[in-house]
């Protein structure tokens, strides 16, 4: 094992599982792609753009916010969502790559 590779703790494994499960859905990937293009969006706009009932959309948004992939900000009666770029960058980082790839 090289110096940058280490064994993950059960908590770390559970966290990665939650994050990857959040990404393992076509609707949530579509949502993530839409937010990556648009930046921040209101639930009302997301419902229309994704052609999805608000209850279904809320379910997917909760999974993504619980996995720390999306950030939510409430303004008045509306919720606005954006990608948690710092966190997504860490999921897609070289560091995670080293944890999941075999040592050479």
Predicted model pTM: 0.80
The mean per-residue pLDDT over the stretch 40-45 comes to 93
In 3D, which of 31, 42, 50 has the Cα closest to residue 76? 42
Q: Specify the pLDDT at position 51.
A: 92
pLDDT score recorded for residue 53: 94
Task: Classify domain 10-86 at the CATH class level.
Answer: mainly alpha
Sketch the domain layout of the chain as residue ranges. Answer: 10-86
Half-sphere exposure (CA, 13 Å, Cβ side) for 6?
A: 7
What are 50-95's pLDDT values in tens digits? 999 999 999 999 999 999 999 999 999 999 999 999 888 877 766 6
Q: Return the DSSP state at 51.
A: T
- What does the buried/exposed string (b/e) look like for 30-52 if buried means 16 or more CB atoms within 10 Å of the residue's CB? ebbeebeeeeebebeebbeebeb
At residue 35, does pLDDT exceed 80? yes
């Amino acid at each position: 094992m090289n110096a940058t590779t280490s064994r993950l703790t059960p908590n770390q494994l559970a966290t990665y599982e939650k994050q990857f499960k959040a990404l393992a859905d076509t609707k949530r990937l579509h949502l993530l792609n839409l937010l990556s293009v648009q930046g921040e969006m209101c639930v009302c706009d997301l419902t229309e753009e994704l052609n999805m009932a608000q209850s279904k959309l809320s379910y997917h948004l909760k999974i993504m916010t619980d996995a720390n992939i999306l950030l939510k900000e409430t303004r008045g009666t509306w919720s606005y969502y954006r990608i948690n770029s710092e966190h997504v960058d860490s999921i897609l980082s070289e560091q995670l790559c080293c944890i999941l790839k075999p040592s050479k």
